[in-house]
Amino acid sequence: MKKMVTMLIVLCLLLSSCSNHPNSDSQHVSAIQVKELFDKHAIVLTEPKDLHPENVFIRILNGVKPETYVMNDKQLISIYAYPSEKDAREGAKDFEAKTAVADVVQHRRYVIGNILLFYVVDKENEDSRLELVIENLRSMLR
């Protein structure tokens, strides 16, 4: 009987160590879920037209091609969905390396969990609803 109880305790410990803890790197959000957050806040995302193929915000970073959209007719959103938070941080480092000597337009970069998101806009046209999307994304990964 003692062996059976011991085996059950060991099994419980093993199973609990494999579960998703809030601080683990296993939480994952898809680009579709991020896009749904934009929809939730009535931000219409459309397919971009006439993006130059050398645009730094559509480049493959750390092996991932972004989903790109335009909001408010001229503000570019690039969403990179990585398999892990570590990969997203590496994607941000890859961006820095690839643009180190470039004159990059003003933008905001967010690394939240496994998502790397770029928001390209000038200060006069900034959409404050994006902060709501970012807060919702952070709360999804808590």
The mean pLDDT of 1-26, rounded to a whole number, is 49
CB 105: neighbour CB atoms within 10 A? Answer: 12
- pLDDT at 45 (0 to 100): 96
Q: Indicate the pTM of the whole model.
A: 0.79
Ordered by where they begin, the domains of the chain are 27-140 (3.30.1360)
Instruction: Summarize the confidence of residues 44-68 as an average pLDDT.
Output: 95
